[in-house]
Amino acid sequence: TSKAALLATRSPFGNRRRVASAKPVMTVPKRLVTKCVAAPRKTSQLEQLSQWTVIVEDTGDFEKIRAHSPQDATTNPSLVYQASQLPQYQHLVEEAIAYGKAKGKTTEDRVRHAMDKIACLFGREISKAVPGYVSTEVDARLSFDTNASIEKAHQLLAIYEEMGVPRDRVLIKLASTWEMFEACKQLESEGVKTNMTLLFSMSQAVRAAEVKATLISPFVGRILDWYKKSTGKQEYAPEEDPGVLSVRSIYDYYKCHGIDTIIMGASFRNVGQIQMLAGCDRLTISPALIDELAASEEKLERQLSPEAARECGVPFQAMDEKTFRWMLNSDPMASEKLAEGIRGFTADIEKLEAYFAASMHVVLP
């Protein structure tokens, strides 16, 4: 390096040489240095809820299921009927029609086989989008026929297995009548997993536990609907919502007595109901409410825990047929909503039947 490029300098810190072009550097005292720490990422209420509760999506639209990535998914005849009308699923309808024509010997048989196939086709597609259970419902018109419901469950499972879906991925949904609890008892003894749906009362929950149902679906929103109509009161705070209180009482009973049956709250009308059941085993939630939970970053508090429930001291109950029928009959909300639910699912089954009959150019009697 040439001498011209260097300057001898004198400074209070002694004689030093430096590059002439170098710029003075200011040293900042350490006490003035602050670290730049990124603010912690806020978690959505959906993420917070999933810390304590398994999220299940309640829809027949498996494109929405793929978008949300829940653990399980549930369907019912109403959801299957609605999804069957969507253009993006017409290839499944066509596959079901072809299956019905190949399997059935009479026009009624062809439609029946097509109906079973479409339910399982939607279930198969859903099983590709979730790692856990897929629920498929037995024809609601069989809700008072134990043997016919068992036979239908076997038929649905056979179709699933033909398509490569193992039976342990499938929950057979049965309405919570006495006869269906008898069907549940038999199916569970065979290793078939069941989901007792249209459940509105403690009597149904107790019987479900006795027959060792895998899972129950107490209907929060439909209970609220009944109370609104019955009392004329249109606004309920989340903590006094009768549907929420029903599920909480069932949760306390199950956890207090060490019952393994999974409690999956269902049929929600608003996110407040879901928030008040944070900590329940599972909650099956519509896509719209899942989106609402995902959009909120407000803090969510856990409301239910096994530890707290074990301290509640709820007395154990036994439920024979006479007691069950009397308790259900004595509860106007539960008996009316059960009957209404069966009628509603039946109406949608008949709509789907008519749709398939028209598509297959057959006339049903």
CA gap 181, 203 in Å, rounded: 12
Q: Which residues of 336-365 are buried (b: 16+ CB within 10 A; e: fewer)?
A: ebbeebbebbeebbebbbebbbebbebeee
Active-site residue flag, 101: no
Given 117, 173, 193, 337, which residue is catalytic? Answer: 173
The alpha-carbon radius of gyration of the chain (Å, integer) is 30
Count CB atoms within 10 A of the CB of residue 178: 17
Angle formed at CA 273 by CA 272 and CA 274, multiple of 5 degrees: 90
DSSP-based helix, strand, coil % in the chain, nearest 5? 55, 15, 35
Which residues neighbour 130 within 8 Å (Cβ) at sequence distance 6 or greater? 57, 65, 69, 70, 71, 72, 73
Provide the pairing of β-strand 6-11 with 14-19. Answer: antiparallel
Query: Active-site positions?
Result: 173
